[in-house]
Amino acid sequence: MITLALSKGRIFDDTLPLLHAAGIEVLEDPEKSRKLIIGTSRPDLRVVLVRASDVPTYVQQGGADLGVAGLDVLLEHDSHGLYRPLDLGIARCRLSVATRADFDYASAVRQGSRIRVATKYTQLARQHFAAKGVHVDLIKLYGSMELAPLTGLADAIVDLVSTGSTLKANHLLEVERIMDISARLVVNQAALKLQREPIRKLIDAFEAAVAAPAA
């Protein structure tokens, strides 16, 4: 049995067409069922539903053989024991710095001021600002980052942006793009050795689905 870890929402929704292109149907809709283990049209493949940020842990520890996780999650997490073979090109977004319109980010950076930055991505934010030589006080949050500059908790946030409408609705400006993000297929290294043939075939099927024009 091969176990694929997915998270509900955009990762699941965007992985379905790739599975479909590979001739695999998932037998239940996670939005309608409370099941955490879902079968597929392939008797030797099942899907487990986990939190997006838990996907790397499941795959690293062998709770799943493969998983789909955003590059943000993978870079923020230590990726020891993970084989990261494929950019699936789905769940695309970018990691950016955003501030209130009345905060002059460029001049704060130029003047070497200390900037208070709220984020869920403390590792990525620390690396980014250290590389730029910007002094920051990082404030770890678990959600609703957009609120931080509005309440005076922080001067800036580091968060994912896709359409930009969340920033806009909260009167925030994207002032710097840190990196482009998309979801990756990750594989447990031991599983790849033990079940080489079927897992290799599944990776190849994903690869072909990614390369094919969207149906």
**Given the rule CB under 6 A, which residues bind ligand PRT?**
7, 9-11, 51-53, 70, 72-73, 91, 93, 159-166, 181, 183
Residue type, 197: E
Q: Give me the least distance between CB of 186 and ligand PRT, in Å please.
A: 13
Q: Strand, helix or coil at 192?
A: helix
d(CA 4, CA 59): 9
Q: Which residue is nearest to ligand PRT (CB)?
A: 70
Q: Give me the least distance between CB of 96 and ligand PRT, in Å please.
A: 9
For residue 10, the surrounding DSSP H or E stretch is helix 10-21
Q: Give me the least distance between CB of 95 and ligand PRT, in Å please.
A: 9
Tokens for 142?
Answer: 């678990």
Comparison of 22 and 50: residue with beta carbon closer to ligand PRT? 50
For residue 123, the surrounding DSSP H or E stretch is helix 122-132
For residue 150, the surrounding DSSP H or E stretch is helix 147-151
Q: Give me the least distance between CB of 54 and ligand PRT, in Å please.
A: 9
Comparison of 24 and 30: residue with beta carbon closer to ligand PRT? 30
